[in-house]
Structure 1
């Protein structure tokens, strides 16, 4: 039986597993009926939390989720979506501005076939946009009843603090959640982000707990390059022969051996690990097929022993990201060389 968890301090209760809908749509699984069956199976299993985004297959994922929730299922689901990424060629059809937020929320509501969104999330930071511009627009949407809450995704700890302080000082509604990357291979948020989230009472809903498939059990030393829909789009990130991925491959192989010793699949070990952290509210799973979903259901019922957790720490030390590519977001201070060099 699913044991639901508090969503931060909102009073809302959500399942420890959140169904991520990124794989539904033309980019990964174009079959709407099959995708809807997967969503219904997840809901029937006790999952009551569904997360999507406008950019997933350019709105098609939201449309599929809307179809799946039609006919009486909407009221029982905590529905989350996101904005920020480009939705067309227009220069202002993206970003964190009031202009775009107010326009795009209407598009998401229409595609989802709903009158309200439970959690509307800023998909990525935008340093060039005043945080108060974003918070002001989102606060207005809360007051209008179009969204119930809002949160952030892949924010740095300092950005989380800035948003909380700005909300307090300007009289805005405040973000109630953060959605960061987190897995046994990507543990950087343990250093500062998770403690910051705990101090503000934020719900934390990590994405990619299987490290984009590296913890699916298919990435092993001596194995052939696994076929992957994600790898087709981001080849270097998933190339087992790439030097930058050597440490990740070694860790994935060692973790697979540990899972075998513990009598678990690597998938279940990975999900159970993420859910063990006291700051984590719900882990986002992103199945493309029914088979993938079935391998992940029930992982929230697994309790890992201290010995197993200690072994994981030995393989990938706490607070460690094995590659920068897996951070999900590289701030301009690192990606733009001009910001690190004085002009001459």
Structure 2
């Protein structure tokens, strides 16, 4: 397993990150299966686990497993705060000192740990000054309850604003950003990924399989699998955008076959090739899906393959339609714009 710097935090993380959003979800991944995924992931060399306070039982399952197995010190434990859950409390969200203080104590208790390695602000809060959030996060770092802080799905201009605030007031700096990034969602290549590089932030990518579109689950001329996300969402096979995605899927499938790669290896190999990316979050629902993703751990795509992907999906663009449509799966870009790259060295990891 390859380990990469998480920006300039001093922390090194595995090339793949275990995403735990499915853990404890009824009908998806029960507790026993979640524990199997945790054990197999750590045994394979993954050292970072990503969860959130709104992921149901996820934090509890992870905390119980790490305590029982004695593997807590081997893990970079990342969780998130800021998004409103099921609470009717109007203050149960955002980045206020009041709410962040409650979130960290609850996550520490559920995770059965004294510290959180990476505490991530989950979506921008327009009602709270970033200085307010950075102030309490700085206090948490000084107290040892949090070791590093990060962001999730922030636009580049707000990342810059946050770093200016940190410099002005001597607050802690955000050391990471979680962004949606895949062959189908390349908008972050335009501004966000270069901004993270400029400010020494590692990037954890999510949605790298684009909700199953880049795993080989959906193919032209075939109905969506009955248990797939596309079926649950009621996506229309006759939709023009869906037909476009299926056309691109077939081109990528041919490319993967010619390179003797699985679809998942091609998709994860693509996102982890960008020099801004520290780790790609995988969200397996079962052991088979985990093994499929782990097969991509040692994959390095050649220059010819990367250039061919650029021909199929232009850098800085989306195959997904506009946000909010019936088939858009993981834009998550907060509306910021993209611009195509002109220099391929900007989007290739050094060899």
Query: CA shift at 1:244, angstroms?
Result: 3.3
Q: What does residue 327 of structure 1 align with? A: 331
Aligned partners of 1:324 and 1:199: how far apart in 2? 28
Distance 1:319 1:80, change over 3 A: same
SS at match of 1:96: coil
**Is residue 186–residue 315 contact of structure 2 (8 Å, CA) maintained in 1?**
yes
Query: CA shift at 1:181, angstroms?
Result: 0.2
Deviation readout 1:200-255 (Å, 9 max, x if unpaired): 1111111111011111102111110223454466444xx44333333322222211
Q: What does residue 73 of structure 1 align with? A: 71
**Is 1:256–2:253 an aligned residue pair?**
yes
Aligned partners of 1:181 and 1:53: how far apart in 2? 16
Distance 1:214 1:42, change over 3 A: same
**Is residue 29–residue 286 contact of structure 2 (8 Å, CA) maintained in 1?**
no
SS at match of 2:17: strand
Q: What does residue 315 of structure 1 align with? A: 312
Considering fraction of residues, name the structure with more helix: 1
**Is residue 78–residue 117 contact of structure 2 (8 Å, CA) maintained in 1?**
yes
Deviation readout 1:174-223 (Å, 9 max, x if unpaired): 10000000011110010011111111111111111101111110211111
SS at match of 1:5: strand
Q: What does residue 102 of structure 1 align with? A: 101
Query: CA shift at 1:33, angstroms?
Result: 1.2
CA RMSD for the aligned pairs? 1.8
SS at match of 1:282: strand
SS at match of 1:64: helix
Query: CA shift at 1:301, angstroms?
Result: 0.7
Aligned partners of 1:91 and 1:154: how far apart in 2? 22
Query: CA shift at 1:116, angstroms?
Result: 0.6
Distance 1:242 1:67, change over 3 A: farther
Query: CA shift at 1:300, angstroms?
Result: 2.3
**Is 1:286–2:290 an aligned residue pair?**
no
Alignment of 1:191-270 (within 5 A): 191-228=190-227, 230-231=229-230, 234-236=233-235, 239-270=236-267
> Normalising by the residue count of structure 2, what TM-score does the alignment of the two structures yield?
0.89
**Is residue 225–residue 231 contact of structure 2 (8 Å, CA) maintained in 1?**
no
Aligned partners of 2:272 and 2:117: how far apart in 1? 22
Alignment of 1:156-167 (within 5 A): 156-167=155-166
Query: CA shift at 1:263, angstroms?
Result: 0.9
**Is residue 24–residue 31 contact of structure 2 (8 Å, CA) maintained in 1?**
yes
Greater CA drift, 40-49 or 320-329: 320-329
Deviation readout 1:251-290 (Å, 9 max, x if unpaired): 2221112111111110111001111111110000000000
Q: What does residue 61 of structure 2 align with? A: 64
Q: What does residue 336 of structure 1 align with? A: none
> Normalising by the residue count of structure 1, what TM-score does the alignment of the two structures yield?
0.91
**Is 1:138–2:142 an aligned residue pair?**
no
Query: CA shift at 1:3, angstroms?
Result: 2.2
Distance 1:246 1:159, change over 3 A: farther
Aligned partners of 1:18 and 1:35: how far apart in 2? 15
SS at match of 1:19: strand
Q: What does residue 84 of structure 1 align with? A: 82
Aligned partners of 1:200 and 1:56: how far apart in 2? 29
**Is residue 96–residue 129 contact of structure 1 (8 Å, CA) maintained in 2?**
yes
Number of aligned residues = 328
Gaps of 5+ in 1: 334-344
Q: What does residue 340 of structure 1 align with? A: none
**Is residue 275–residue 300 contact of structure 1 (8 Å, CA) maintained in 2?**
no
SS at match of 1:36: helix
Alignment of 1:38-49 (within 5 A): 38-49=37-48
Query: CA shift at 1:43, angstroms?
Result: 0.2
Aligned partners of 1:287 and 1:226: how far apart in 2? 17
Q: What does residue 342 of structure 1 align with? A: none
